[in-house]
Amino acid sequence: MTFLINTPDPDRIEQFRQTFADAFPDLPVASCDDPYDPADIKFIFTWQALPDWDVLPNLEIVFSVSAGIDQFANLPAHIKLIRMVDPKNTQRVTEYVLAACLGCLRAFPEYGWLQRHHTWAPKQAGFAQDTKVGILGLGGIGQHAAKALSLNGFQVSGWSRTPKDLSFVTSYSGKDGFDKIIGQSDILVCLLPLTDQTKGILDRELFAQTKPGASLVHVGRGAHCNFTDLKNALETQCLSQAFIDVFVDEPLLENRPEWDMPNCVITPHVAGRIDPKTAVENVAQNLTRYYQGQDLLWQVDRALGY
């Protein structure tokens, strides 16, 4: 039985290989460039979906390198899919969200745009304690970010499919909850998984419901957002500012209109990055459970899509 590692980054392959070898000295590990017998592969650690999963006839478990798993829509239902829950990645995304919310509070996207136009235009900044942040998606990362924002004085609400009972965040769910959180938030943060229900959720209709002067921090997935609608919302000041980390087609090509959205900071999908050591610990924990016949952790509900 061989454990297959499939990532496009050769440095990361070596880091993962070494960490796996340390954790499971008896488990043969191969990268896609190594010679291996496809029939030997029971587990794969991969960022991308394979175009054809039948090439690995005995595959049982896909361990996703990323927290988001929307790219695995073509995975046959009998193969288990495990999403990445890496505490260091959660911390990284939280720090991005906190930095972006503070950046919106202090109007950094707006000042960046004014700088491009050689314009000196000071404005009065608000305070975190008067600022309402609404987080769409109160999962592992959303809750961690909510706590950090709350500790930094922001008034934090969150929206999820099922209601939550948490001391540091006001929880909303359902359509009524969605309308409330969109209408009241000074800063909206998207930390949803990409599913059939959440695709295109950041659109003209949502932007029209936002509070005047609201900002958007988008770190979910590109396809959550209609970028034509976002550009229009920023140009018409329906939204005042944005930090956008994810796009429909990445990398964002040089001639894309998104680059010219006003009052918007664009980052190249860097909010999170899996740490090889803690990521492999996540996989190791589940492999140990697998060998002991226990249920696996962080298994994706294929019907819900996350």
Binding mask 148-187 for ligand NDP (x = CB under 6 A): -----------xxxx-------------------------
Part in contact with ligand NDP (CB under 6 A); list of ranges 108-116, 140-148, 207-215, 278-286: 140-148
Closer by beta carbon to ligand NDP, 11 or else 165: 165
Is residue 224 flagged as an active site residue?
Answer: no
**What is the C-alpha separation between 150 and 132, in angstroms, rounded?**
10
Binding mask 88-107 for ligand NDP (x = CB under 6 A): -----x--------------
Query: Which 233-292 positions form the footprint of ligand NDP (CB under 6 A)?
Result: 245-246, 269, 271-272
Closer by beta carbon to ligand NDP, 72 or else 113: 72
Strands (E), the chain: 2-6, 29-31, 41-46, 61-64, 80-82, 132-136, 155-160, 170-173, 187-190, 215-218, 241-244, 264-266
Beta bridge partners of 216: 188, 242
Is residue 221 flagged as an active site residue?
Answer: yes
The CB-of-231 to ligand NDP minimum distance in angstroms stands at: 20
The CB-of-70 to ligand NDP minimum distance in angstroms stands at: 7
Q: What is the DSSP secondary structure assignment for residue 245, as one 8-state letter?
A: -
283-306 as b/e: b if 16+ CB within 10 A: bbebbeebeeeeeeebebebeebb
Residues lying near ligand NDP in the complex (CB under 6 A) = 67-68, 93, 137-142, 159-162, 191-195, 197-198, 219-221, 245-246, 269, 271-272, 306
